[in-house]
Chain A
Amino acid sequence: MASSTHTSEDFIQGRILKSSEPDFFEGLKAVVDYRGDVTLSLVDGNTVEGYIYNQSLSGLEIFPKNSPRAISINFKEIDSIQFSGEDTANGKTFDDWTKKKEAEKVAIKAQPIEMA
């Protein structure tokens, strides 16, 4: 198999992976790895929005956003996959904490010595 031309940076929120792309099956790895919701556009015109957590031999396993149960969708049914939801693993929380701590340190340093 030819090696993929994709890098992980290709798969950010908003990206659409078409089933007609030559690297579609390579791109599926990023779909399963993505910690946000995606929207599947199916060949019959329907869409399914949800979290994809597994790839089987025949298709993708997804928890649709508004359904209590997971479903499987066959590769043949998929027209395209959009990385539609926010990637929840984008490091925001830790950055916020680091910024807060830095601000506290700066504030302490700025205090007159007798107050610190």
Chain B
Amino acid sequence: MGVPVSQMWTVASYVIKQKLKGNKRYPLVLMLEPLFRCNLSCAGCGKIQYPDHILKRVLSAEQCLAATDECGAPMVSIPGGEPLLHPEIKQIVEGLVARKKYIYLCTNAILLQSKLHLFKPSKYLTFSVHMDGLQHEHDEAVCRDGVYEKALGGIKAALKEGFRVTTNTTLFDGAQPERAREFFDEMMKVGVEGMMVSPGYSYSKAPDQKHFLGRQKTNQLFKKILFDGKRSWKFNQSPLFLEFLAGTRDFECTPWGNPTYNIFGWQKPCYLLQEGYAATFKELISDTTWENYGRKSGNAACQDCMVHCGHEPTAVDHTFGSWNGFWSTVKATIAGPKILKPAPESFEAMEITEKKVVNG
């Protein structure tokens, strides 16, 4: 099963409505972080490093739903922390389904199987399972042995009960393209609806600071992974975003596209940076100096960032912003994203060095 037509229609009509209203800064996906506590400590994660009393705090279901209403985005992603540890996760999901929001509940799936009874299968609810590759790569990324098998068990159980399940994969420097391709084959075999991929963001608070990807390396890696991609692979994200990752096209960041709400308030300016908090969504939009963010701004924190939460909304906006964008998306959906052939290894090293000199 692919993304339901009703979801595509909801997103398309929402974006077109915003365009007709002349609303330049509209939210597409609310990133709702109801807690920071997690049952893992992944090397590339910058979300969980807080004192214990902060990790014990949660947004109530009421606060989560009020933020959803305030924001108005048609999709809600629930990352964390681990949302399945939240004592009111059932109520949060039920409230969002009642509001007809398309939910991506992001989980490491350690608890998925044991908590499935809390939820009812619905076209509005998708479990987006954190899988950073096959067993070796995933267990290494999450710094614990046995998690891959546990997560796989959770995925299979959820699929068996009729839930929508996708995977979300973050790739870091050193990722092996062939292994990533094998992983895609494996996930398709397991039967997930689609996959999401993104390069890791170099969180200043993440324990592992050595393996974040620069822009050129990201392009090379995704070219190698996606070139000549299999027809069987299904991605639960814009094909234009995949083209962006592989360097076929360039996008600027749309930081307001995926606004983040957590126990501290509305995070400025995006899911990754923490440059203060606004008390209301309106204040976030009106008081953030958006010109200071994105690659063009020259902000050092944005130069190597190609993360989906900043750039996927740009891809979606591009799709509905012009005929050219629309046809590119239709073409890429039918024929697969346009990915240029990766340069041979020896040229690649030269290319990266040269680009560095030009930029430097």
Q: Does A4 contact B (CB under 8 A)?
A: no
A51-B51, A88-B50 in contact; A93/B264 too (CB < 8 A)?
A: no
Contact with B along A22-53 (1 / 0, CB 8 A): 00000000001101110000000000001101
Task: Determine whether the beta carbon of B207 is less than 8 Å from that of A53.
Answer: no
What are the residues of chain A within 8 A of B57 when measuring CB–CB? 63, 68
**Whole-angstrom distance between the Cβ of A27 and the nearest chain B Cβ:** 16
A54-B276, A97-B43 in contact; A85/B51 too (CB < 8 A)?
A: yes
A65–B209 Cα distance when bound, in Å, is 29
Contact with B along A50-87 (1 / 0, CB 8 A): 11011100000101011010100000000000000110
A54-B277, A93-B207, A94-B208 in contact; A35/B49 too (CB < 8 A)?
A: yes
Q: Does B205 contact A (CB under 8 A)?
A: yes
Q: Does B190 contact A (CB under 8 A)?
A: no
Task: Return the contact of B49 from the options A54, A66, A88, A101 (Cβ within 8 A).
Answer: A88
Task: Return the contact of B41 from the options A37, A70, A93 (Cβ within 8 A).
Answer: A93
A92-B207, A94-B207 in contact; A51/B53 too (CB < 8 A)?
A: yes
- B34-48, CB < 8 A from A: 41, 43, 46
Q: Does A89 contact B (CB under 8 A)?
A: yes
Q: Does B72 contact A (CB under 8 A)?
A: no
Q: Does B265 contact A (CB under 8 A)?
A: yes
Task: Determine whether the beta carbon of B49 is less than 8 Å from that of A55.
Answer: no
**Whole-angstrom distance between the Cβ of A11 and the nearest chain B Cβ:** 13
Task: Determine whether the beta carbon of B53 is less than 8 Å from that of A65.
Answer: yes
**Whole-angstrom distance between the Cβ of B243 and the nearest chain A Cβ:** 33
A14–B276 Cα distance when bound, in Å, is 24
Q: Does B143 contact A (CB under 8 A)?
A: yes
Q: Does A91 contact B (CB under 8 A)?
A: yes
Q: Does A9 contact B (CB under 8 A)?
A: no
Total inter-chain residue pairs, C-beta < 8 Å: 60
Task: Return the contact of B50 from the options A32, A51, A66, A95 (Cβ within 8 A).
Answer: A51
- B243-301, CB < 8 A from A: 263-265, 274, 276-277
Q: Does B54 contact A (CB under 8 A)?
A: yes
**Whole-angstrom distance between the Cβ of B212 and the nearest chain A Cβ:** 13
Task: Return the contact of A35 from the options B50, B264, B265, B276 (Cβ within 8 A).
Answer: B50
A90–B204 Cα distance when bound, in Å, is 10
Interface of A (DSSP majority class): mixed
Interface of B (DSSP majority class): loop
Task: Determine whether the beta carbon of A35 is less than 8 Å from that of B205.
Answer: yes
Task: Determine whether the beta carbon of A95 is less than 8 Å from that of B264.
Answer: no
**Whole-angstrom distance between the Cβ of B284 and the nearest chain A Cβ:** 13
What are the residues of chain A within 8 A of B46 when measuring CB–CB? 89
Task: Return the contact of A63 from the options B53, B140, B204 (Cβ within 8 A).
Answer: B53
What are the residues of chain B within 8 A of A93 when measuring CB–CB? 41, 43, 143, 207
What are the residues of chain B within 8 A of A53 when measuring CB–CB? 264, 277
A35-B49, A35-B50, A37-B51 in contact; A95/B265 too (CB < 8 A)?
A: no
What are the residues of chain B within 8 A of A91 when measuring CB–CB? 207-209
A78–B53 Cα distance when bound, in Å, is 23
**Whole-angstrom distance between the Cβ of B281 and the nearest chain A Cβ:** 16
Q: Which of A37, A51, A68, A97 has the most CB of B within 10 A?
A: A97
Q: Which of A37, A68, A89 has the most CB of B within 10 A?
A: A89
A51–B262 Cα distance when bound, in Å, is 15
What are the residues of chain B within 8 A of A32 when measuring CB–CB? 276
Task: Determine whether the beta carbon of A89 is less than 8 Å from that of B205.
Answer: yes
Task: Return the contact of A36 from the options B51, B143, B206, B274 (Cβ within 8 A).
Answer: B51
What are the residues of chain B within 8 A of A86 when measuring CB–CB? 51
Task: Determine whether the beta carbon of B143 is less than 8 Å from that of A63.
Answer: no
A26–B41 Cα distance when bound, in Å, is 31
What are the residues of chain B within 8 A of A95 when measuring CB–CB? 207
**Whole-angstrom distance between the Cβ of B206 and the nearest chain A Cβ:** 8
**Whole-angstrom distance between the Cβ of B114 and the nearest chain A Cβ:** 25
The contact sample of 14 A-B pairs, CB cut-off 8 A, is A36-B51, A51-B50, A51-B54, A53-B277, A54-B264, A54-B277, A63-B53, A66-B53, A85-B51, A89-B204, A91-B209, A94-B143, A97-B43, A101-B140
Shortest Cβ-Cβ A-B pairs, 6 listed: A94-B207, A89-B49, A89-B205, A97-B143, A88-B49, A93-B41
Q: Can you name 4 extra interface pairs (CB under 8 A) apart from A68-B57, A94-B207?
A: A35-B50, A37-B51, A54-B277, A89-B205
